[in-house]
Amino acid sequence: MTDTTTGKKQFKMLDKARYIDNADVLFDSNVIRANNSLAEQKLLALTDLLVEHPDQGNVWFSLLSLSEMLGPRKASRQIEVLSRFQNLYKRFGDRVKFFGPGRFSSVRAEWEGKGSFLCTSASSIDEYVSASIAAGELVGMLKDVRDEWETSKAAMQQAYADQTAKCRAHYESDLMFREAIKTGIAQFGTENVLEQCGDIVERLLVEVLGRPAEDLSLAKENPSAYFCTWTYALLKRLADFSATLTDEERETNFAEYGRLLVPNPNDFFDAYIASAGGQCGMLITDDEGLIAKLNALHDAHPSLVRLQGFTVGDAWIAYDPPNGRKRDRTKPIL
């Protein structure tokens, strides 16, 4: 969007006015930036707005995001990220929370009944954060979390790479499979989108939740009760499509889909993290590809995704508080 008074582009990714129907906000791990005081200042200022009143939502992180925060190889960078994360939760107390544990904790909660979401205050891990900061390196529980995540992440990446290689080979050799993929992509954003990822939901039900595959009908009949489930399934299917297409095929036959089909090695991890906060109204992230995908899915008809994506800067400029309150816009924009 462009500021009509100056002619300058005002927002990085925000393409129109967006209404948020849930004040809870999911933060991606990449908004905690090492060695960037201005980025931290903007994030703290935005969080001030998001939790300014008790009846506004909370700020949430997936526990997987904590694992990703600990990912840098250099100890100094790990500690810098931890220190800035600690600044955030110490400033805002119990308004900063974790979903979890597990990759599908929020999906499981949707199926086990309202109010069963597992969560904890981010400050609950302060003992471990402070110990690592004091040591100048990850120690104790946080070191274990990072080591376990690196091992499981590598295994998941390899399994997904193997699956992708098989799908791509199948795509290149089988005309019927190619046509099925093309049909599936075309049905995103239509009333048939449920049929494009129902198999993913069925696998979640059977393999993760231990429920009958027939329960898929419940999610189809009342999609808004299962936002976490559909957020995962839709992003996972988009990741599958993106990884299956060759660059030449994408440019020749699917150019109109733009960023929706541009692959990223972290696409299937994004599905886990976004689905953890699938009942939230906003995702704050620096991942522009994820923003584009979430907002396209949200804007589709029918819409099966509640989350809408924003960069820190776009949210800070555009955000207006809920419940009829007016933001004090005399304060300078950072």
Structure confidence by residue, pLDDT tens digits, 78-99: 999 999 999 999 999 999 999 8
Predicted TM-score (pTM) of the model is: 0.91
Which pLDDT score is estimated for 8?
47
pLDDT for 200 beyond 70: yes
Which pLDDT score is estimated for 115?
57
Angstrom distance (rounded) from CA 1 to CA 16: 7
Which pLDDT score is estimated for 2?
37
Compute the Cα dihedral for 250, 201, 300, 305 and give only its sign.
negative
Helix or strand or coil: residue 27? strand
pLDDT for 151 beyond 70: yes
> Edge-to-edge strands of the sheet including 282-284?
119-121, 96-99, 59-62, 25-27, 282-284, 308-310
Structure confidence by residue, pLDDT tens digits, 240-289: 999 998 888 888 889 888 888 988 888 888 999 999 999 999 999 999 99
Which pLDDT score is estimated for 7?
40
Which pLDDT score is estimated for 114?
59
Evaluate whether residue 86 is within a structural domain: yes
Which of 58-67, 185-194, 257-266 shows the lowest mean pLDDT across its residues? Answer: 185-194
Angstrom distance (rounded) from CA 213 to CA 203: 8
In this prediction, residue 190 has a pLDDT band, given cuts at 50, 70 and 90, of: confident
Evaluate whether residue 5 is within a structural domain: no
Contact of 174 with 168, CB cutoff 8 Å: no
Angstrom distance (rounded) from CA 270 to CA 273: 5
Evaluate whether residue 12 is within a structural domain: no
Evaluate whether residue 242 is within a structural domain: yes
Evaluate whether residue 323 is within a structural domain: no
Q: Which one, of 213, 200, 48, 77, lies nearest residue 137 by Cα?
A: 77
Evaluate whether residue 279 is within a structural domain: yes
Degrees (nearest 5) of the Cα angle 13, 14, 20?
Answer: 130
Sequence-ordered list of residues with C-beta below 8 angstroms from that of 97, at least 6 positions apart, any chain: 58, 59, 60, 61, 119, 120, 121, 122
Enclosing domain of residue 215 = 25-318
Helix axes 267-276, 227-244, angle to 10 degrees: 170
Which pLDDT score is estimated for 334?
59
For residues 143-166, give the mean pLDDT.
89
CB atoms within 10 A of CB 83: 16
Angstrom distance (rounded) from CA 270 to CA 261: 14
Which pLDDT score is estimated for 6?
39
Evaluate whether residue 290 is within a structural domain: yes
Number of domains observed in the structure of the chain: 1
Structure confidence by residue, pLDDT tens digits, 94-141: 999 998 788 899 999 999 875 577 889 999 999 999 999 999 999 999
284 strand-pairing partners = 27, 310
Q: Would you call 198 exposed, middle or buried from its count of C-beta atoms within 10 A (0-12, 13-18, 19+)?
A: middle
Which pLDDT score is estimated for 300?
85
